[in-house]
């Protein structure tokens, strides 16, 4: 268990497709960089759970299991030919009334899998910004999920339901406002396999009640968003390297606030895989408007070298509260990545180019949203094993952007040392992680809206200082019992007696959220296997 946990952490070093950028160290608020750009107005999934991206764009908000599923680091528990019952609890306590509890139990065996999970977060924040007015300290996030899978012969079926309740204060120029968000998402899945063919039917339903009294909110009324997505897939698989698939997807989204807004769109596409090439192409129909979409990739492998390329074009409706009519947004992505490895040394390189094309006619008259915008992200990482269980890595990323889809951090540096040892005759596993993060050459050209969750133009009044953070974690495990100590932003503690010049150690990535200093926490995790 410890070995799996350790190498899941290591795996994050080699994946730069998705990057979590927090507003606070508790994981309650922040944004995501995906393929070198802001993630906003974008559907996403975590395991079997589907999320509409209109007002939900930060997976960490919903707890560690949802975040792990989004990042793709969840372990595969669907080994239906074994019979096990496992459960765990993870309790965290830290500064500023930080109190987190995650519990789960699962059953695997006889062709069935069942997983039940609960999570709650209590956190006041460094300035009590997450404590709603006229209330006492209470949980600001609650998560409940259930997932069931049954497999028999050539059929596999799954049903999943998740409920997510956010009741949190939110910083505001007029004081502390309130966000009251209640999300319920359900997913149903059926797959039938027969020799070289298989069929998949999937249905997702997403319900969101969203209420905020923030001064920048576009409405003071409660909003009700309903989203339905249904998908059918037919695949013919010739062999392990060749297949042909057909996709039919329908979407319906309804938003009721100041007005009633309903929109539907459909996608029909075909996917072909042959050897090192994969190509998906099709059409999206929105009203009377038909647009072309595509997703093509190649993968080349030669000895210790590998090169991946991808061209992707998505067409989606614009954010529901930017336009009350059918207005489209086109997102183009060019991606090139490469990896070279030899013995204990590896090097990774990523290049992303993003282009957004928006309709010039927006019903809300928001002049801050440009018609065309692009950015380029170039990054590389060098990692080496110092010993069998010690890893050292250096990451550098640079972006050039016109704004709007970028967070304004020109250069990123990440240095990490990760390792584990066995103490007391092998009875105690001890893992240590020390990371240094630098965010350099920063400028505000845009920021994520605090309540509507789309980028808005923002220009800082003065030059922004470079940011440096040092994070430390120590994990000890005896059998199935885990004790973990984390200290975020160690350097901020040292500023009282060391002069670091123009560097800054406060966490402030969004002008609408207050700066954060350090955060220390201690957690106890215990796994049980019957």
Q: What is the pLDDT of residues 122-156, one digit of tens each?
A: 999 988 899 877 788 899 999 999 999 999 989 99
The candidate with the shortest Cα–Cα distance to 508, out of 462, 451, 467, is 467
What pairs with residue 225 in β-bridges? 208, 255
In the prediction, which pLDDT does 454 show?
86
pLDDT of residue 366: 46
Closest CA to 473 of 436, 438, 434, 517: 434
Nearby residues of 514 by Cβ (< 8 Å), 6 or more positions away? 125, 126, 127, 129, 171, 508
Collapsed DSSP state (helix, strand, coil) of residue 59: helix
Instruction: Say how far apart CA 218 and CA 210 lie, in whole Å.
Output: 12
59 φ, ψ (degrees, to nearest 5): -60, -30
Number of alpha carbons in the 13 Å side-chain half-sphere of residue 43? 17
The position carrying tokens 């069935």 is: 112
**DSSP codes joined into one string, 407-445:** --EEEEEEEEEEEEEEETTTTEEEEEEEEEEEEEEE--S
Task: Report the Cα 303 to chain-centroid distance in Å.
Answer: 33
For residue 10, what pLDDT band results from cuts at 50, 70 and 90? very low
Half-sphere exposure of 331 (CA within 13 A, CB side): 17
Q: How do residues 172-208 score in pLDDT, each as one tens digit?
A: 877 778 899 999 999 999 999 988 899 999 999 999 9
Q: How far is residue 281's CA from residue 261's CA, in Å, rounded to a whole number?
A: 29
For residues 286 and 265, is the Cβ–Cβ distance under 8 A? yes
The burial class, CB within 10 Å (0-12 / 13-18 / 19+), for 456 is middle
Sort residue 30 into left (φ over 0), alpha (ψ -120 to 50) or beta. left
User: Is 77 within 8 Å of 115 (Cβ atoms)?
Assistant: yes
Q: In angstroms, rounded to a whole number, what is the distance separating the alpha carbons of residues 85 and 75?
A: 16
What's the pLDDT score for residue 324? 58
Structure tokens at 67: 């975040």
- Cα→Cα distances 127→123, 239, 516, Å: 11, 59, 9
Q: Each residue of 339-349: pLDDT tens digit? A: 998 888 999 99
Q: What percent of the chain has pLDDT over 90?
A: 58
Choose from 323-327, 366-370, 506-510 the range with maximum mean pLDDT: 506-510
For the chain, first and last CA: distance in Å?
15
Beta-bridged to residue 311, according to DSSP, are: 296, 334
Compute the half-sphere exposure of residue 433: CA atoms within 13 Å on the CB side of its CA. 20
- Residue 446 confidence (pLDDT): 83
Domain span at 120: 2-529
The pair of three-digit structure tokens given for residue 290, joined into one six-digit string? 């038909």
For the sheet containing 30-34, what is the strand order?
18-22, 30-34, 37-38
CB 516 within 8 A of CB 25: yes
Nearest CA among 459, 406, 415 for reference residue 436? 415
Most confident of 363-367, 395-399, 465-469, 500-504: 395-399
Write the pLDDT tens digit of every residue in 445-497: 788 999 999 888 777 666 788 888 999 999 999 988 999 999 999 877 776 66
What does DSSP assign to residue 25? T
Q: Which residues pair with 331 in a beta bridge?
A: 314, 356
User: Residue 494 in 3-state DSSP?
Assistant: helix
Backbone angles phi, psi at 138, to 5 degrees: -150, 165
Tokens of 422: 């066995």
Please tell me the predicted confidence (pLDDT) of residue 14: 44
CA 490 vs. chain centroid, Å, equals: 25
Please tell me the predicted confidence (pLDDT) of residue 367: 47
pLDDT at 327: 78
Instruction: Based on DSSP, count helices (H) and strands (E) in the chain, helices before strands.
Output: 3, 29
For 79-105, letters b (16+ CB in 10 Å) and e give ebeeeeebebebebebbbbbbbbbebb
How many angstroms separate the CA atoms of 189 and 150, rounded? Answer: 10
Asked if residue 161 has pLDDT above 90, the reply is: yes
Number of domains present in the structure of the chain: 1
Task: Note the pTM of the prediction, 2 decimals.
Answer: 0.91
Q: Is the pLDDT of residue 2 over 80?
A: no
Q: The CATH number of the domain where 31 resides is what? A: 2.40.170.20
The pLDDT value recorded for residue 74 is: 59
| Structural contact between residues 183 and 150, judged by C-beta atoms closer than 8 angstroms | no
Q: Which residue's entry shows tokens 């319900």?
A: 207
CA neighbor of 67 nearest in space, from 46, 87, 93, 84: 46
* Residue pair 325/344 in contact by the 8 Å Cβ criterion: no
| Nearest alpha carbon to residue 42 among 30, 65, 61, 59 | 59
């Amino acid at each position: 268990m410890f070995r799996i946990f350790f190498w899941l952490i290591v795996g994050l070093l080699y994946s730069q497709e998705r990057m979590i950028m927090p507003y606070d160290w508790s994981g309650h608020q922040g944004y995501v960089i995906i393929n070198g750009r802001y993630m906003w107005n974008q559907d996403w999934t975590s395991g079997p759970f589907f999320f509409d991206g209109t007002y939900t764009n930060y997976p960490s908000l919903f707890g560690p299991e949802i975040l792990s599923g989004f990042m793709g680091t969840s372990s595969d528990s669907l080994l239906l030919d074994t019979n096990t019952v496992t459960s765990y609890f993870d309790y965290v306590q830290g500064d500023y009334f930080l109190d987190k509890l995650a519990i789960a139990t699962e059953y695997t065996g006889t062709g069935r899998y069942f997983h039940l999970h609960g999570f709650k977060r209590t956190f006041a924040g460094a300035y009590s910004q997450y404590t709603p007015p006229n209330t006492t300290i209470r949980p600001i996030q609650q998560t409940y999920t259930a997932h069931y899978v049954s497999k028999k012969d050539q059929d596999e079926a799954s049903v999943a339901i998740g409920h997510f309740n956010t009741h949190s204060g939110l910083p505001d120029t007029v004081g502390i406002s309130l966000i009251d968000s209640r999300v319920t998402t359900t997913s149903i899945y059926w797959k039938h396999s027969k020799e070289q063919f298989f069929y998949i039917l999937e249905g997702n339903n997403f319900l969101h009640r969203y209420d905020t009294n923030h001064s920048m909110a576009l409405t003071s009324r409660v909003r009700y968003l309903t989203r339905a997505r249904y998908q059918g897939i037919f695949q013919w698989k010739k062999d392990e390297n060749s297949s042909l698939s057909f996709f039919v997807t329908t979407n319906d989204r309804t938003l009721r606030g100041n007005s009633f807004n309903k929109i539907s769109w459909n996608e029909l596409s075909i996917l072909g895989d042959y050897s090192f090439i994969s190509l998906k192409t099709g059409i999206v129909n929105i009203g009377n408007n038909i647009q072309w979409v595509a997703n093509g990739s190649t993968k080349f492998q030669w000895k210790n070298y590998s090169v991946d390329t991808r061209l992707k074009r998505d067409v989606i409706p614009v954010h529901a509260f930017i336009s009350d009519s059918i207005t489209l947004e086109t997102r183009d992505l060019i991606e090139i990545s490469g990896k070279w490895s030899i013995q204990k040394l590896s090097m990774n390189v990523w290049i992303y180019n993003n282009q957004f094309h928006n309709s010039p006619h927006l019903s809300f008259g928001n002049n801050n949203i440009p018609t065309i915008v692009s950015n380029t992200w170039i990054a590389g990482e060098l990692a080496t094993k110092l010993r069998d269980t010690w890893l050292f890595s250096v990451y550098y990323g640079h972006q050039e952007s016109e704004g709007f889809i970028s967070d304004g951090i020109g250069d990123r540096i990440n240095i990490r040392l990760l390792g584990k040892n066995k103490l007391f005759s092998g009875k105690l596993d001890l893992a240590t992680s020390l990371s240094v993060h630098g965010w350099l050459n920063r400028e505000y050209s845009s920021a994520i809206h605090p309540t509507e969750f789309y980028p808005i133009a923002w220009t800082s009044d003065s030059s922004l200082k470079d940011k440096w953070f040092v994070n430390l974690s120590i994990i000890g495990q005896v059998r199935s019992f885990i004790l973990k100590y984390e200290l975020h932003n160690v350097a901020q503690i040292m500023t009282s007696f060391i002069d670091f010049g123009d560097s800054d150690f406060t966490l402030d990535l969004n002008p609408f959220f207050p700066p954060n200093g350090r955060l220390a926490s201690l957690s106890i995790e215990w796994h049980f296997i019957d």
